[in-house]
Chains A and B, each alone.
Chain A
């Protein structure tokens, strides 16, 4: 049996010490190249699960391992450039599309990575259904659907091993939502990217390596397909 890219063991979490638990003894195993969809109603802690994986929050008890190593032993910035988290509401800085896309390359941990050229950024914009967007225009003027795709593109530029997507379509109209789902499916099929997406929508991916989990009673249950 190969080593999972991500493993969660006996995870428990509550917002306050001694407070009501959001997760209790939660276990999860994610193989490289898998497409994980975590479903469940809003407010159950789906987003918190993703935030725990990239250490934007800390568990009360339990262990999370990335490539066999406990994530608490990895420098947070190194971990987050390998496990990229895209928030539910995409955030841009008040600058051009180009500056927003290249922002991660200004951080010390990513300095060794080569920043993409304008040509490759433009090509990617087309692949992300953003052909009408120019690199020099202000990112703040984009629609929420365009920002969401740009945020995913920005995370992908760092070539992370795992992409965590928090409700990527919750603020989008059906057409934009369809674009985002088709995009993330392609990232999984074409590039073999490991994805963990949480959603409360009825989306059901038709992918060979998709696994659907439901968050219920403070733990994850795998759904049979």
Chain B
């Protein structure tokens, strides 16, 4: 009963019918999405097959450096995705964002894999990499939301900030509300996910484990850890990054450097 059913190549291609449906809809209703759907489909196949080969190799490996290397590649990819979503030219935010992501996600994945799950060694790839991957994937979106909102609000509320600075406010005081709103905007999706999980949706990892024949009572424990981990990682990374980036938005006289252009 617990035998996993393999998906053959032909069955996999059958899944392309979903893409055909999307392509036809885009064509008929002039959605302009045909190119993106095609590229997205190709990338899904290519990237996941590549990951499959890499994981097959890494899961059999016993080299910590290799596991950490894969983790590093994942964070570097995430920073490029954030760069594509946050169009900010005046303040250089990429390096502090990258370093914070690297340290905070690594610490979170290490904590979950080594301490909560208790794998030995802590970098055991079948625990460490999925944990790291989920943290990076979810938190990356949160960071992009926070950063985008922070830069936008600072520009839009420039006059309000300068009014407060002119009356003796420090840069932290003058940007306190914008800071709060930006961090909140990034954290809310992961908190909302905790509200709906198990009721509105069955999360991907849990579904995967159940499909693989794992006892649902074990699968939910993993899922609970994942949900908690995502809130923690999002908080840690977004608060740290916003603190670092906020400092860069103000000059030596605590003047706002972002202009409205």
Interface residues of A (CB under 8 A from B): 54-58, 72, 76-78, 80-81, 84-87, 89, 91, 93, 103-104, 106-110, 151, 154-155, 158
Q: A56-B162, A89-B159 are in contact. Are A154 and B255 (CB under 8 A)?
A: no
CB pair A56 B255 closer than 8 Å: yes
> Which residue on A lies nearest to B256, using beta carbons?
A56
CB pair A158 B255 closer than 8 Å: no
Q: Does B66 contact A (CB under 8 A)?
A: no
Across the A-B interface, give the 8 residue pairs with the lowest CB-CB distance, nearest first. Answer: A55-B253, A81-B168, A104-B167, A91-B163, A76-B254, A85-B166, A109-B168, A107-B169
Kindly list chain A residues whose C-beta atoms are within 8 Å of the C-beta of B163: 87, 91, 151
Q: Which one of B159, B168, B169 has the highest number of Cβ atoms from chain A below 10 Å of its Cβ?
A: B168
Q: A56-B255, A72-B252, A91-B159 are in contact. Are A110 and B166 (CB under 8 A)?
A: no
13 contacts between A and B (CB under 8 A): A54-B166, A55-B254, A58-B255, A77-B165, A80-B165, A80-B168, A85-B166, A86-B166, A87-B162, A87-B163, A107-B167, A107-B170, A151-B163
Given the complex of chains A and B, what is the CA–CA distance between A58 and B257 in angstroms? 10
CB pair B166 A107 closer than 8 Å: no
Given the complex of chains A and B, what is the CA–CA distance between A77 and B254 in angstroms? 8
Q: A87-B159, A107-B173 are in contact. Are A58 and B167 (CB under 8 A)?
A: no
Q: A58-B252, A58-B253, A72-B253 are in contact. Are A109 and B165 (CB under 8 A)?
A: no
Q: List residues of B (199-224) whose CB comes within 8 Å of A's CBs.
A: none
Mark each residue of chain B from 126 to 170: 1 if its CB lies under 8 Å from any CB of chain A, else 0. Answer: 000000000000000000000000000000000110111111111
Given the complex of chains A and B, what is the CA–CA distance between A84 and B166 in angstroms? 6
Interface residues of B (CB under 8 A from A): 159-160, 162-171, 173, 251-255
Kindly list chain B residues whose C-beta atoms are within 8 Å of the C-beta of A109: 168-170
CB pair B253 A77 closer than 8 Å: no
Given the complex of chains A and B, what is the CA–CA distance between A87 and B163 in angstroms? 7
Kindly list chain A residues whose C-beta atoms are within 8 Å of the C-beta of B253: 55-58, 72, 76
CB distance from A174 to the nearest CB of B (A): 25
Given the complex of chains A and B, what is the CA–CA distance between A106 and B159 in angstroms? 19
CB distance from B253 to the nearest CB of A (A): 3
Given the complex of chains A and B, what is the CA–CA distance between A109 and B165 in angstroms? 11
Given the complex of chains A and B, what is the CA–CA distance between A80 and B163 in angstroms? 11
CB pair B159 A84 closer than 8 Å: no
Kindly list chain A residues whose C-beta atoms are within 8 Å of the C-beta of B165: 56, 76-77, 80
CB pair B170 A77 closer than 8 Å: yes
Kindly list chain A residues whose C-beta atoms are within 8 Å of the C-beta of B173: 106-108
Given the complex of chains A and B, what is the CA–CA distance between A104 and B164 in angstroms? 7
Q: Which one of B162, B165, B167 has the highest number of Cβ atoms from chain A below 10 Å of its Cβ?
A: B167
Kindly list chain B residues whose C-beta atoms are within 8 Å of the C-beta of A155: 166-167
Given the complex of chains A and B, what is the CA–CA distance between A80 and B166 in angstroms? 6
Given the complex of chains A and B, what is the CA–CA distance between A188 and B165 in angstroms? 24
Kindly list chain B residues whose C-beta atoms are within 8 Å of the C-beta of A80: 165-168
> Which residue on A lies nearest to B174, using beta carbons?
A107
> Which residue on B lies nearest to A89, using beta carbons?
B159
> Which residue on B lies nearest to A79, using beta carbons?
B253
CB distance from B259 to the nearest CB of A (A): 9
Kindly list chain B residues whose C-beta atoms are within 8 Å of the C-beta of A81: 167-168
Given the complex of chains A and B, what is the CA–CA distance between A74 and B147 in angstroms? 31
CB distance from A55 to the nearest CB of B (A): 3
Selected from A57, A78, A86, A104, the residue in CB contact (under 8 A) with B255 is A57
CB distance from A154 to the nearest CB of B (A): 7
CB distance from A48 to the nearest CB of B (A): 12
Given the complex of chains A and B, what is the CA–CA distance between A155 and B164 in angstroms? 11
Given the complex of chains A and B, what is the CA–CA distance between A103 and B167 in angstroms? 9
CB distance from B247 to the nearest CB of A (A): 13
Given the complex of chains A and B, what is the CA–CA distance between A84 and B167 in angstroms? 6
Given the complex of chains A and B, what is the CA–CA distance between A106 and B169 in angstroms? 9
> Which residue on B lies nearest to A164, using beta carbons?
B166
Given the complex of chains A and B, what is the CA–CA distance between A108 and B169 in angstroms? 7
CB pair A91 B167 closer than 8 Å: no
